[in-house]
Amino acid sequence: MLSRRRFLVAGGAAAAVPTPTWADLGKPAFLAAAREADGDFALFGLDDTGALTFRVPLPQRGHAAAAHPHRAEAVAFARRPGTFALVIDCASGQVLHRLSAPEGRHFYGHGVFIDDGRILATTENDFATGDGRIGFWDVRAGYARLDEIPSGGIGPHEIIRLSDDTLVVANGGIRTHPDSGREKLNIDTIRPNLTYIRAGQVIETVELSDPKLSIRHIAAHPDGTIAMGLQSQRDPDAPVALLAVHRRGRLLRTFGAEMSGVCRGYVGSVAWAGTGRRIAITAPRGNRAAILTDDTFETLHRPDICGVAMTRSGLAFTDGTGGVLTDHGARKHPVAWDNHLVALAV
């Protein structure tokens, strides 16, 4: 268990935060991985209009990235079940560190900075047992491995941080193993959950009534309410919820059964809108996004749309054809954007 003492030791053992900052890179608003026209992979910065601000090559396909809260540094994660993550100086393009999953582990494509950027938390799989783990890395000691704790379930995918440094983990419930690639090894017994962790201890766990709805992607409202994008492990035409919403100590609510057929039962990303009243889910298999306002969905049709992120006043989207939609309009780049659009600050 990573105690508060170890957090403080990790934070106090290093020097002041270095420059450059994100502002020195043209104030990028988002990070996104992509495949370029020549087949190479890269991590890009985009400003709030969708224009590119920087490009850093990646050795393989990326998934999501974690942005340091202060300096122009990002951790780019390999697609599940990857065993590496690259710490990138986004100003110089230099790879500062290559994180390798400990023996018997693989990453799940997501991570988050906590403790004011002093520690990186990563979702991992102990593939011998199938248990989910959260790994902790000491940022100012060169991303040295600090500790690990249980994730509270199987198949932890996205992990986010609340304002009080509570971690929220989407335990998808699906067991994988690097020897089997992306094959789902326990489809008949999956049991996903949403887990809240504070100071290394699970403080609350929530399950859906339908265990065949894998909780994979999550987003937090400023008041701590969590939106969950769901992926059905049933027939893609079956009417199932696509979105769930939960706030600690309250009942979980689900939405989107009327949308599940056209969305093919699969949500790729989820985000609150900048107004805080709307929630967007993306369905790349259905070539659309669905935006919930109160109890009503409106849809946006785009080919292979998957990335979505909060902006100051609304939402931004990316798709597999290179399209970027922001509050300022549409742009197109000669890339295929990968699954996620990561907001730096709103």
pLDDT, the chain, mean: 89
The 10s digit of each residue's pLDDT in 159-214 is: 999 999 999 999 999 877 666 666 776 677 799 999 999 999 999 999 999 999 99
Q: How confident is the model at residue 5 (pLDDT cuts 50, 70, 90)?
A: very low
What does 13-65 look like in DSSP terms, one character per residue? TS-PPPSPBGGGGT---EEEEEEETTS-EEEEEE-TTS-EEEEEEESS-EEEE
The 10s digit of each residue's pLDDT in 66-114 is: 999 999 999 999 887 777 799 999 888 889 999 988 998 889 999 999 9
Among the listed residues 297, 291, 26, 313, the one whose alpha carbon sits nearest the alpha carbon of residue 305? 291
Q: Report how far residue 170's alpha carbon sits from residue 226's, in angstroms, rounded to the nearest whole number.
A: 10
DSSP reduced 3-state for 172? coil
More confident residue, 3 or 32: 32
Residues 275-302, mean pLDDT to the nearest whole number: 95
Show the CA angle centred on residue 67, arms to residues 64 and 71, nearest 5°.
155
Is the predicted pLDDT of residue 9 greater than 70, yes or no? no
Domains of the chain by start residue, with CATH: 4-343 (2.130.10.10)
pLDDT score of 203 = 97
Q: How confident is the model at residue 292 (pLDDT cuts 50, 70, 90)?
A: very high
The 10s digit of each residue's pLDDT in 328-341 is: 999 999 999 999 99
Q: Against a cut of 0.95, is the pTM above it?
A: no
Residues 31-59, mean pLDDT to the nearest whole number: 94
pLDDT score of 26 = 74
When mean pLDDT is compared across 12-16, 124-128, 289-293, the lowest value belongs to 12-16
pLDDT score of 84 = 78
pLDDT score of 1 = 40
The 10s digit of each residue's pLDDT in 47-59 is: 999 999 999 999 8
